[in-house]
Structure 1
Amino acid sequence: MVATSRTVRRTYLTLVSLNALAVSFVWGINSLLMFQAGLSNTEALAANACFTLGYALFDVPTGTIADTWGRRVSYLLGGLTLFVTTLLYWLAWHVHAGVLVWAAVSLLLAAGFTCFSGATDAWLVDALHFLRWPGRLETVFARGQVCTGVGTLAGSLAGAWLAQLTDVGTPFLVRAGLVLALTVVAWRLMHDIGFTPRRAGPPLRAMRRVLDASIRDGWHRPAVRWVMLGACVAAGTGYFVAFVQKPYLLDLAGDRNAYGLLGVAAALTAAAQMVGGLLANRFQSLFRWRVSVLLAGVLLNAALLVALGVAGRLSVAMALLAGNSLASAGVLPSRQAYLNGLIPAGERATVLSFDSMVGSSGGVVLQPVLGRAADVWDYPAAFVLAGLLQLVALPLLLRARRYENGSLTAGPPPGTRTRRTPPPSCPPTPSRARE
């Protein structure tokens, strides 16, 4: 079949939808697995911090796999790794393993996810660039947010109610099967377009070359670096909120076994994500600069988290969590398009993975800290602290705003090259194109 921009976009949205369905099947109850194994808040979040640490350790190496051996290879490797580690997660729950086992399995689980993190978006942008698609990247990424919301809604509801009927371990077995099916679909539909894998020379040397180039064209560009650093705190608090909202909602409900309620909460969050994706372009139109969109998102999410800490009522807490999801989904396409507009094709997957690694590094530190705060002061105080920590991103994003110019106000068509003249304080850097 001849590839067209339409089939590429359909394939991307199909993969995004199926991935969200498979991954979210355990989102309603995933953290409860550790608590049922006897872990405290601090221990469970320390183990989950190892999951985040796995992102930091494996994101760039797996990104270089996508940039040297191909996006498809990276995606398939991620699917197989996630299949095996999901089964290990279930086994750790089944034998009531200790915190060290959970930490090790979480580390390996992250390796599977990192194979997806940069490869999927890089595959899409490469293909649309090659096929000279004239549209805006924000449009595709926003539709991806909607598809992610649909898959998450279906998966989280089904997984939570399955746990209600059986136990919290069964949804993990189903997810393993869904991930295996996703891998088969990717093997059939996902083929590298507009990108030629570079297999010349020893693999480690090729990976080192791509990594060096990604640091040069990513971290050394102030416009990219400050946006990456701004994500550190947001990612760290995001991991914490996603992990502990389940026991917090059960506490508010007064029933520690109301797994179906968690499915409803996850579905509500997914629906809000869909709405956020639909409103992303309108949200972008309110601002001239993409970094301004990110600044507004930080302020809004900080306020929502503080309000979550003082809510005290189940219905209000669920609404605030949905608002947090809507705001994040509405901002993400602007961030994706911003980074993609600055990253060259040859290092795209690696720089995206490097961005994910920087964000995950914040979660390694903040999750145990916020977990300890939850053990000492309870969940409400920890949510307030998480909201206040979000504000740390503001001065970092303001630094990035200094380097943003008119070429980044709207998403240029993939492949469009524009000359960007940096301000006097920014030394000239190579052009580049990236959520």
Structure 2
Amino acid sequence: MNPAARRVQRIYLTLMLGNTLAASFIWGINTLFLLDAGLSNFEAFAANAFFTVGMVIFEIPTGVVADTVGRKVSYLLGTITLSVTTGLYWMLWLWHSPFVWWALVSVLLGLGFTFFSGAVEAWLVDALAFTGYTGSLEAVFGRGLVVTGIAMFTGSVLGGVIAQATNLGVPFLVRAGVLVVMFIFAYMVMRDLGFTPDRSAGPLKATRNVLTQSVEHGLRKRSVRYVIFSAPFAGGVGIYAFYALQPYLLQLYGDPTAYSIAGLAAAVLSLAQVGGGLLAPRIRSLFAKRTSMMLVAGLISIGTLVALGLNGVFWLAVVLLVVWGFVFAVAGPVRQAYLNDMIPSKQRATVLSFDSLFGSLGGVVIQPALGRAADLQGYGPSLVIGAVVELIGVPFLLASRRQRDRADTNTARADAAAPAA
């Protein structure tokens, strides 16, 4: 890797480190935080669903910001929006506000995250191409998972410990502060390399043009479309399971106030993510096609969720959690590389936002539905139901595989595989 590409990778890894560290301060205790504010299980997961509603509403407009104004601008808007809305979340908890306010602020939190989705990944891929990088995207995305796994472990453990030592609101204030630091860092070092924003059109025309091109190179391209269509099922179930495992582990542990144990769910997943990120390129080499690896990982994930739902032993649940997180981490870089190799540069951020949007759509419906199932039947049965829902996405991956796109067998960067826009 040449020095310029190495610098791009360092900036990307630092951005991923800071973003994940900030986010993970509350990942281990978020569901407990919402329940402590007086919400029921249904309302807590409905608040999370409104967060994904925000992502659905704003994914395309913020993707257009990244593609027409700049990826750096999009990232900066994301950090400041998330910092402010995280502070508002803390105030709602402090005041035990009614659900309607949680729903509103959750939508604004979703807005903050949509400025990130697609923008940072598109910035990395274009900047690497500009600096002459010729290695595999899986390797870079794998390193990103290692870094975010370390940050997730650190943040989730510290978040649980801080909540135990103080209260459930303090980790949210820490998160807001870290985001301010990341805003300053990105402002100083990010440059839109290999990409020139097109500001010639007005915002409405730009939105229409980019959206049209994104549909052309996204939903109308079958190999891309089927991968995107699989996102709601795995994404919706994944985000529910992540947050449901916090109170579920406490239930299995036998102490509902052991917040540090709740942080263990996110911490264990982070360690699995580090291992998965390190081994993703090597495991990828065992498969002739990227979709083969994605399908195997999906089936293992489904089986693990069933086992988690049927299990009643705390430490066995922790082991199963490691397996679930590892499989997710191994498949993630492969899926990212597969999509990026099929998308033209000019529409990359918006098409990636499309993918994120469909994942969010799953969260809008699946989270509150499974949360209601947890209210009625318990967390274990709700995870088993989630596994069945995730299974629905498998045929879409098979359909993408049948298109025989050359990105499916690519083992190095194949930016040329995407036609110039």
Q: In the alignment, is the contact (CA less than 8 A) between 1:341 and 1:412 conserved in 2?
A: no
1:297 match: 297
2:95 match: 95
2:179 match: 179
2:47 match: 47
Between the aligned partners of 1:376 and 1:203, the Cα distance in structure 2 is 46
Alpha-carbon distance, 1:407 to partner:
4.4
Q: In the alignment, is the contact (CA less than 8 A) between 2:342 and 2:407 conserved in 1?
A: no
What SS does the aligned partner of 2:27 have?
coil
One-letter amino acid matched to 1:213: Q
Q: In the alignment, is the contact (CA less than 8 A) between 1:337 and 1:411 conserved in 2?
A: no
- Structure 1: give runs of 5+ residues left out of the alignment: 419-429
2:376 match: 376
Q: In the alignment, is the contact (CA less than 8 A) between 2:370 and 2:382 conserved in 1?
A: yes
What SS does the aligned partner of 1:26 have?
helix
Alpha-carbon distance, 1:207 to partner:
1.9
Alpha-carbon distance, 1:314 to partner:
1.0
**Structure 1 range deviating more: 9-18 or 257-266:** 257-266
CA offset digits 1:257-279 (Å, max 9, x no partner): 10111223321210110001011
Between the aligned partners of 1:295 and 1:137, the Cα distance in structure 2 is 19
1:79 matched to 2:67? The reply is no
1:160 matched to 2:160? The reply is yes
Between the aligned partners of 1:69 and 1:248, the Cα distance in structure 2 is 43
1:9 matched to 2:14? The reply is no
Q: In the alignment, is the contact (CA less than 8 A) between 1:341 and 1:432 conserved in 2?
A: no
**Structure 1 range deviating more: 261-270 or 338-347:** 261-270
What SS does the aligned partner of 2:26 have?
coil
Between the aligned partners of 1:289 and 1:132, the Cα distance in structure 2 is 25
TM-score by length of 2: 0.97
Alignment of 1:116-195 (within 5 A): 116-195=116-195
Structure 1: 4+ residue segments shifted above 4 A: none
- Please provide the CA RMSD for this pair: 1.5
Q: In the alignment, is the contact (CA less than 8 A) between 1:341 and 1:411 conserved in 2?
A: no
CA offset digits 1:370-407 (Å, max 9, x no partner): 11111111111101111121111111111111112444
Between the aligned partners of 1:218 and 1:405, the Cα distance in structure 2 is 13
1:244 match: 244
Q: In the alignment, is the contact (CA less than 8 A) between 1:62 and 1:114 conserved in 2?
A: yes
2:419 match: 431
What SS does the aligned partner of 1:219 have?
coil
2:323 match: 323
Alpha-carbon distance, 1:320 to partner:
1.3
Between the aligned partners of 1:211 and 1:410, the Cα distance in structure 2 is 27
Q: In the alignment, is the contact (CA less than 8 A) between 2:67 and 2:197 conserved in 1?
A: yes
Between the aligned partners of 2:58 and 2:297, the Cα distance in structure 1 is 28
Between the aligned partners of 2:212 and 2:273, the Cα distance in structure 1 is 35
Between the aligned partners of 1:113 and 1:314, the Cα distance in structure 2 is 33
Between the aligned partners of 2:205 and 2:32, the Cα distance in structure 1 is 42
Between the aligned partners of 2:3 and 2:352, the Cα distance in structure 1 is 25
Q: In the alignment, is the contact (CA less than 8 A) between 2:245 and 2:265 conserved in 1?
A: no
Per the alignment, do residues 338 and 397 of structure 1 end up closer, same or farther by CA in structure 2, a change over 3 Å counting? Answer: same
Alignment of 1:21-60 (within 5 A): 21-60=21-60
TM-score by length of 1: 0.94
Provide the identity percentage.
49
CA offset digits 1:15-43 (Å, max 9, x no partner): 11111111101111011111011111111
One-letter amino acid matched to 1:324: W
1:258 match: 258
Between the aligned partners of 1:332 and 1:48, the Cα distance in structure 2 is 22
One-letter amino acid matched to 2:413: P
Q: In the alignment, is the contact (CA less than 8 A) between 2:291 and 2:408 conserved in 1?
A: no
**Structure 1 range deviating more: 170-179 or 399-408:** 399-408
One-letter amino acid matched to 1:235: G
Between the aligned partners of 1:328 and 1:106, the Cα distance in structure 2 is 25
Between the aligned partners of 2:3 and 2:175, the Cα distance in structure 1 is 30
Q: In the alignment, is the contact (CA less than 8 A) between 2:146 and 2:273 conserved in 1?
A: yes
1:421 match: none
- Structure 2: give runs of 5+ residues left out of the alignment: none
CA offset digits 1:122-171 (Å, max 9, x no partner): 00111111112111111100000000101111111111100000000000
1:423 match: none
Q: In the alignment, is the contact (CA less than 8 A) between 2:401 and 2:408 conserved in 1?
A: no
